[in-house]
Amino acid sequence: MATYNPADDHSTNFFGDVCNNFDYAAQFTTHDAGLLDQIKSCNSVYRFRFPIRRGNGFEVIDAWRVEHSQHQSPTKGGIRYSEMVNEDEVMALAALMTYKCAIVNVPFGGAKGGIKINPKNYTLQELENITRRYTVELAKKNFIGPSIDVPAPDYGSGEREMSWIADTYATMNPGQLDAMGCVTGKPIALQGIAGRKEATGRGVAIAVRECVSVGEDMQKIGLLPGISGKRVIVQGLGNVGYHSAKFLAEFGALIVGLCEFEGAIYNADGLDIDAVFQHRKATGSILGYPGAKQEFKHSLEGLEQPCDILVPAALENQITIANVKNIKAKIIAEGANGPTSPEAESIFYANGGMIIPDMYCNAGGVTVSYFEWLKNLSHVAFGRMNRRFEENMNLNMVNMVEGITGVALTPMQRSTIIKGATELELVNSGLEDTMIRSYHEIRETYKNNEKIDTLRTAAFVCAINKVAVSYQNLGVWP
């Protein structure tokens, strides 16, 4: 039984791990040391503190915003609300955002933010005050704006916080036409985009589906190709974990285990993800769910149960040398950022496993954030201009085919063929195309160089080459 708690390990160096992965991958590129150093380093690290009123007194809040790379503008990255936030973590996540955007061909530089609080310990008004003050501090130093740096939700934040940020920025910049493009992950009513909330989880599910569809790779790790019937354990029942499990189940996988901080549940015959979600909403815990055949008070024990695919979708450093040998999955799909330590990854591969790296696997969120940003700049919803035109064109085509063949389609068939694409359908189509193309780009790099030993290294090589080209084309000013 694994009782290791990553929060107790103060020796971890997340940014150092990212840099080590970078350095290892860099040897498979042809770029000079100076350019590689420019790509690897964080360009701007802003650490600040600000007070808020609590009761009759004050509390001082620690916060960060890191802009890792301006090879593309604006920079892009979420804001994490967590007591565990620190400068090293924010720097690491900002770096991963740079490489993530490059991998999925989204024209942003990488950034990340963090506020060192536990949101559960604050009232709604206090959270709003903290979020708005954070936004003001960013604006004072030119660390936010639709063409400068565009935040998004992350662990502990969501649509509500993004709304407060958008309103604060717009208030401070009266008359700015593109003000709502200063942040993504907003609710649809505030110029958000359909499909953004579930985008990261949907992207994880598509990444897994694409990975297991390659028969050659599955044969090497002892699995049959195809997602149907694959047993999956998901860690985390937040936004990413819930939607990852939901869409994997829709694709045909069997969700056999779920892990949360209060414990884990397992049923080899499968779990109903929505029923578990509602049970936790009603009771505050996944434990006690009547459809579970096994329960574990230590959440990490849930990761060690029999399955084909493990999806860690919570926090970093969850799979380490302390528990990796007990992991029975053949594939780890990293829904979270940095859930697998480098040492654990080496052991997992040596034991015949395969890891879908975080910098690709959870890129669905930033991909759809890009679509939202484009929507905000264009000031029109996707599909609004052409949907009716497409439907009329399709109707004319159906009428012509029916007239030529003499065969009348059923009302259901006509409706299916004629219907134009909604914004959600267009967003999901763009996300799916992005995830599929990017996976095979990484895989080709992995397969074409026998010295590249993991998909993570291949992903880094792809990212380094793309960022390097941008810097080379930009030159150096002055």
Residues marked as catalytic: 112
Residues 6+ apart with CB under 8 A from 378: none
Say what the pLDDT of residue 478 is: 81
CA distance linking residue 356 with residue 100, whole number of Å: 13
Start-to-end Cα distance in the chain = 59
Which residues are within 8 A (CB) of 236 and not within 5 positions of it... i.e. 6 or more apart?
Answer: 259, 260, 312, 313, 314, 335, 336
Q: What's the mean per-residue pLDDT of the chain?
A: 94
Strand 75-81, strand 44-54: pairing: unpaired
pLDDT mean over 335-357: 94
Residue pLDDT, tens place only, 66-80? 999 999 999 999 999
Q: Is the pLDDT of residue 10 over 70?
A: no
Q: How far is CA 18 from CA 4, 15, 72, 287, 389, in A?
A: 22, 5, 20, 35, 48
Q: At what angle are helices 199-212 and 364-378 packed, to 10 degrees?
A: 130
| Percent of the chain that is helix, strand, coil (3-state, to 5) | 50, 15, 35
Whether 8 shows a pLDDT value over 70: the answer reads no
β-strands 109-115, 57-67 pairing: antiparallel
Which phi-psi region, left, alpha or beta, contains residue 477 (left: φ > 0; alpha: ψ -120 to 50)?
Answer: beta
The model's pLDDT over 125-168, given as tens digits with 9 standing for 90+, comes to: 999 999 999 999 999 999 999 999 999 999 899 999 999 999 99
Q: How far apart are CA 153 and CA 162, in angstroms?
A: 7
- pLDDT bin (cut points 50, 70, 90) of residue 316 is confident
Question: What pLDDT, in 10s, does the model give residues 352-391?
Answer: 999 999 999 999 999 999 999 999 999 999 999 888 999 9
216 CB burial (10 A radius; 0-12, 13-18, 19+) = exposed
Quote the longest CA-to-CA distance of the chain: 81
Q: What pLDDT does 13 receive?
A: 87
- Give pLDDT tens digits for 165-208: 999 999 999 999 999 999 999 999 999 999 999 999 999 999 99
* pLDDT value of position 12: 57
Residue 237 has phi, psi (to 5 degrees) of -120, 30
Lowest-pLDDT choice from 99-103, 107-111, 314-318, 448-452: 314-318
Task: Say what the pTM is.
Answer: 0.92
